Amino acid sequence: MTDFRSGFACLVGRPNAGKSTLTNALVGQKVAITSERPQTTRHTIRGIVHRADAQLVLVDTPGLHRPRTLLGERLNALVRDTLTEVDVVVFCLPADQKIGPGDRYIAAQLAEVSSPVIAVATKADLVGRGRLAEHLLTISQLGEWADIVPVSATDGYQVDVLADVIVGHLEPGPALYPDGELTDEPESVMVAELVREAALEGVRDELPHSLAVVVDEILPREGPTPMLDVRVNLFVERDSQKAIIIGKGGARLREVGTEARRGIEALLGTRVFLDLHVKVAKDWQRDPKQLGRMGF
């Protein structure tokens, strides 16, 4: 088929702009962690969209923001590197929030990008028609966009339209990944993300930035039934944060384990014994050595 197109699209936007939810909606399955807390994505997760006419590889990046820590600087550098390597950029601007300094900061960065940039009004289901129209007008005045598309990832509104628009900007080319593959992230990264998502569920604002999750090992267990032993370390910066994650009598950590184990078993397709350990790594976000150890 000569008309087949393929390529990479990168989703950018300030923290909590709906990038991960949109990645999952486009792929049709969960490949990126989502949370109401800003700054939950730490790695560029690739989701792969398979179509009869195209293969689209989505790169979900951390939110671009003015960095306050070494971790923040490294995350921003990661986004900028990604922008130079993709065919299309998708700029997410949530409809339920006014365009602010963060969006203008990103728009200024994107003005220097050579790839086409599609501006997307995410979370369109959360506002009325009038507010959405206003938001789209403001977006159009923010920069020079290849296209502007309103979507809602939660109820599927215009997700297919957006996919068509992105594919329209790709060059003809062969499929880049085998059929049926949804992500090229290593299993250990996906496992760490599932634990992190479960640990962030329902906690107060002080935790998201301070939590890092590292998979120590994934080993097959000896015995008649197939099972994996998965050892995971959760790093926080202070003893008070450790107490929040563990909870009274370890209740909270048990909940985190149960929730994460469900996702991990679905991902790995086998039963899992999940062993979680919470450790304090003082000020790890500002310490180059510790950041390196945690894979940043």
DSSP state of 222: P
Q: Is 62 annotated as a binding residue?
A: yes
Q: Is 162 annotated as a binding residue?
A: no
Q: Is 63 annotated as a binding residue?
A: yes
Q: Which sign does the torsion angle of CA 5, 113, 24, 150 carry?
A: negative
Q: Is 207 annotated as a binding residue?
A: no
- Radius of gyration of the chain from Cα atoms? 20
CA angle 18, 19, 22 (to 5 degrees): 85
294 CB contacts (<8 Å, ≥6 apart)?
A: 212, 214, 235, 284
Q: Is 68 annotated as a binding residue?
A: no
Q: Is 124 annotated as a binding residue?
A: yes
Q: Is 123 annotated as a binding residue?
A: yes
Q: Is 14 annotated as a binding residue?
A: yes
Q: Is 18 annotated as a binding residue?
A: yes
d(CA 193, CA 212): 9
Q: Is 13 annotated as a binding residue?
A: yes
Q: Is 20 annotated as a binding residue?
A: yes
Q: Among 115, 18, 9, which Cα is nearest to 55's?
A: 9
Q: Which amino acid is at 210?
A: S
Q: Which sign does the torsion angle of CA 124, 125, 127, 133 carry?
A: positive
Q: Is 122 annotated as a binding residue?
A: yes
Binding residues: 13-20, 60-64, 122-125
Q: Which residues sit in the known binding site for GTP?
A: 13-20, 60-64, 122-125
